[in-house]
Amino acid sequence: MERGYWRKKQPEAVRRSLLDHATRLAFEHGLGAVTVQAVSDAAGVTKGGFAHHFPTKQALVNAVFQELLDALDHELDERIGSDPEPHGAFTRAYLGTVLDIDLARDSSPSVALAISMLADPVFRALWKQWFEARIRRHRATDDSVQLAIVRLAADGLWLSTLSGIPVANEAELRARLVQQTQVT
């Protein structure tokens, strides 16, 4: 009896490949290009293999977006951990993370997915849930109107950059916003 080609199953590697290829397709061609067939083909798996890991395209896209949120969490935690002043540390970390994204030069797939959040109600709901959880987690150090204003200003700067609207004196603006996080 002749046996066909056999390879060791590596479910985590297959799942990772599906996520990576979906992220790349979304970045290079938009979310519309992320189809079960396209991702399966790119990852070298069957549609059945795809379905074993993700029951639907939306489940895959949600997992990709969740990875983006997890990476953001990691970055914020690193910045908070290196901040010697607890008061406003989450807001400073959020401000720094948002303002350090260079949308004009950053070719990161996570930027493309973050941008798609604006148009996708599922992503917006995941973002809202994530952000509210962070605010609750950092309530003891970042629960003031002043710090909320700084976070909203950071969001506004991100949207301005995304829209191609030049921001005059960005360095001075950033310094003033950081300064506002240090006011008690």
Are 101 and 166 found together in one domain?
A: yes
Rg from Cα positions in the chain: 20
Query: 175 lies in a domain?
Result: yes
Q: How many domains does the chain have?
A: 2
- Within-domain flag for 39: yes
Task: Supply angle C-alpha 25, 36, 121, rounded to 5.
Answer: 70
Evaluate whether 72 touches 28 at the Cβ level (below 8 Å).
Answer: no
pLDDT tens, the chain, 184 aa long: 455 555 566 778 889 999 999 988 887 787 788 899 999 999 999 998 899 999 999 899 889 888 888 888 999 999 999 999 999 999 999 999 888 876 555 555 556 666 777 778 888 888 899 999 999 999 999 999 999 999 999 988 888 877 778 888 888 999 999 999 996 6
> What domain range includes position 43?
9-55
Rounded to whole angstroms, how far apart are CA atoms 27 and 16?
16
Q: Do 72 and 105 belong to one domain?
A: yes
* Pair (47, 70) in one structural domain: no
Angle, helices 57-81/11-29, rounded to nearest 10 degrees: 90
**Residue 102 within any structural domain of the chain:** yes
**Cα 98 to chain centroid, rounded:** 11
Same domain, 35 and 100: no
